[in-house]
Structure 1
Amino acid sequence: MSYITAGRDANGHEVKLHYVDQGQGDPIVLIHGWPASHEMWEYQLAELPKHGHRVVAYTRRGFGNSTKTWEGYDYDTFADDLKAVLDELDLQNVTLVGFSMGGGEVARYMSRHGGARVARVAFVSAVTPFLLQTDDNPDGAPKANFDKMVEGIHKDRFDFLATFGKQFFGVGTISHPVSNATLDWMQAMCQIASPRATEQCVYAFAATDFRQDLKTIKIPALVIHGSSDATVPPAVSGERMTQFVPHAQFVEYSGAPHGLFITEKDRLNHDLLQFVGGTKVTNSNAFSL
């Protein structure tokens, strides 16, 4: 396994981030969602390097095989960890792709570190701009929704993950867009995360306001969101992104759930390659690799 050192924790122990680095060319850095690991990008890691790109995917602290710290589950720390990845690998002209809570890393990195080394950014099913309902964000989700998630994690984390996984991929009584084997794979991946990280990140992605971070983005930006995302509803996330990044291109995947990196994997791969190549992404379902 390959690891990047991202500083030290409060006890002075090194924090190691597990990563993979494949292919050659201008780099694409994939940032995973909660509570998975970089392994969720299986179909992107298998395809994107075939098209002349270096693809790096790393696992956030507390998840997968990265160091499981007790503290440090805030977006300033996550942005600093992302900087450690870009600096240690000396990546230039980078395309950052943040999925779900990973979109927050992208936004905070761009403001906190001035977008160093980055040429373009993509937000996929992202939690940006701000999920929590507040007086100045009335369309957000009530805090009680996130408290309920944490209660479920405390009560039975494994049962919570099983239920969450079905919502994540849009599995219902009639709809079953992924196999049971894929659900099992995703749950096993998420179970490896530390309970502490799983819980603390709920509060991080729920309560962090990225609206000012997004306003610092001046480079090309792409926003992709599924219209049937029940985990991070597009009305409070993707559809609002152009209010804060006016030049961003918003592409809606009709009928897609949150986990579109699996359910719409071919289209997502195609659209990311188009974006990295400087081609405008269309809302059409017609595409080919």
Structure 2
Amino acid sequence: MPYFESSTDGTRLHFVDYGPADGPVLVFVHSAYFATEMWEYQMLPLAAEGFRCVGLDRRGHGRSDDVWGGFDLDILAGDLGALLDHLDLRDVTLIGHSVGAAEAVRHLTLRGTERVARLALVAGMAPGPARSTDHPDGVAPEVLDAVNAAFRADRARFFAEGAEAFFARHLPGPPVSDAYVAYMVGRCHGATARAGVALGEVVAGLNLVPELVKIDCPVLVVHGSDDVSAPLELTGRRAADLVPGARLHVYEYAGHGLFATHADRLNEDLRAFARA
């Protein structure tokens, strides 16, 4: 069965494992609110090409257990590490989107490159959008607090009203259908309210600068020029500048949902990166 238990607290976690068992391994870490299904335009075609594509439903998301605790970054990264151990995955290309990118970075901080050979940060929140002593141009704490308050007050409205900007539908990039946007808004409700609130708190306090500068494996940073959720200059470009030797690919007119709007281009970049 596609479940295993967290090594930290026994939480039952769901995973997907597509493609041949002996193919090059890609492990996908999804955004907040969604689950592994957000990667359908990556996992299905790449698995069909011979890659082994593995995805974990974060605790409180998708088909994993609904729990109260365990949403600090160490435990979330520990859940990811437990999946790699459970399947005994090696030479992994680890791919994280949004807050999933932060989990991927923390995994490397905790476990190093024992199982991970390369890292792709896709529209990542790392190193963190918040203002700090080493990031004076970041988002003011009160702004992030207001965003989290709006989520707690009416998360249905939060998801529905944020969808246009998430997929940058007002810009001349590749379109996604109204039906797909409605589907993804619905999928956001697959995450529990508790999980959503907890991850908002993680993002508000995120500062991975000391961790990014120590990464010693190849890193690809993919980011949209018009990402509202994780603005390029506050996250993606900073991450690329901090990680030694990192490569930055900026997609013009792309928002946070570039995994759907720019799926073909993202797949091309991931395919080349994993085979390099």
> Quick one: structure 1 residues 220 and 175, their matched pair in 2 at CA, closer, same or farther if it must change by over 3 Å?
closer
Match of 2:151 in 1: 153
Q: Aligned partners of 2:222, 2:172: CA distance in 1, in Å?
A: 25
1:138 aligns with 2:132: no
Shift of 1:51: 2.2
Residue of 123, 126, 129 corresponding to 2:124: 126
Shift of 1:166: 2.0
Match of 1:210 in 2: 208
Q: Aligned partners of 1:87, 1:75: CA distance in 2, in Å?
A: 18
Task: Find the residue that maps to 2:112 and give its secondary structure.
Answer: coil
> Quick one: structure 1 residues 160 and 118, their matched pair in 2 at CA, closer, same or farther if it must change by over 3 Å?
same
Give the conservation status (yes or no) of the 8 Å contact 2:8–2:75. Answer: no
1:18 aligns with 2:14: yes
Identical residues among aligned pairs (%): 38
Q: Aligned partners of 1:81, 1:232: CA distance in 2, in Å?
A: 24
Task: Find the residue that maps to 1:48 and give its secondary structure.
Answer: helix
Q: Aligned partners of 1:101, 1:237: CA distance in 2, in Å?
A: 11
Match of 1:56 in 2: 54
Task: Find the residue that maps to 1:178 and give its secondary structure.
Answer: coil
Q: Aligned partners of 2:240, 2:41: CA distance in 1, in Å?
A: 28
* CA RMSD in angstroms, aligned pairs only: 1.6
Shift of 1:253: 0.6
Of stretches 159-168 and 55-64 in structure 1, the one that deviates more from structure 2 is: 159-168
Give the conservation status (yes or no) of the 8 Å contact 2:173–2:254. Answer: no
Deviations 1:47-82 (A, max 9, x none): 111222100011111111111110111110111001
Shift of 1:213: 1.4
Shift of 1:176: 8.5
Give the conservation status (yes or no) of the 8 Å contact 2:144–2:204. Answer: yes
Q: Aligned partners of 2:118, 2:132: CA distance in 1, in Å?
A: 30
Match of 2:87 in 1: 89
> Quick one: structure 1 residues 57 and 144, their matched pair in 2 at CA, closer, same or farther if it must change by over 3 Å?
same
Match of 2:4 in 1: 4
Task: Please give the TM-score of this superposition, normalised by the length of structure 1.
Answer: 0.91
Residue of 111, 114, 137 corresponding to 2:112: 114
> Quick one: structure 1 residues 110 and 173, their matched pair in 2 at CA, closer, same or farther if it must change by over 3 Å?
closer
Give the conservation status (yes or no) of the 8 Å contact 1:110–1:216. Answer: no
Match of 1:282 in 2: none
Of stretches 228-237 and 200-209 in structure 1, the one that deviates more from structure 2 is: 200-209
Task: Find the residue that maps to 1:235 and give its secondary structure.
Answer: coil
Q: Aligned partners of 2:140, 2:146: CA distance in 1, in Å?
A: 10
Give the conservation status (yes or no) of the 8 Å contact 2:15–2:54. Answer: yes
1:180 aligns with 2:178: yes
Shift of 1:16: 1.4
Residue of 90, 102, 105 corresponding to 1:104: 102
Task: Find the residue that maps to 2:7 and give its secondary structure.
Answer: strand
Give the conservation status (yes or no) of the 8 Å contact 1:242–1:250. Answer: yes
Shift of 1:29: 0.1
Q: Aligned partners of 1:114, 1:7: CA distance in 2, in Å?
A: 18
Shift of 1:19: 1.1
Match of 2:254 in 1: 256
Match of 2:162 in 1: 164
Deviations 1:107-160 (A, max 9, x none): 101111123201100000000112111233112111122212222222211111
Shift of 1:244: 1.7
Shift of 1:84: 0.5
Q: Aligned partners of 1:266, 1:125: CA distance in 2, in Å?
A: 16
> Quick one: structure 1 residues 79 and 174, their matched pair in 2 at CA, closer, same or farther if it must change by over 3 Å?
closer
Task: Please give the TM-score of this superposition, normalised by the length of structure 2.
Answer: 0.95
Tell me which amino acid in the other structure corresponds to 2:11.
V
Give the conservation status (yes or no) of the 8 Å contact 1:109–1:115. Answer: no
Shift of 1:263: 0.2
Q: Which runs of 4+ in 1 moved over 3 A?
A: 172-176
Match of 1:73 in 2: 71
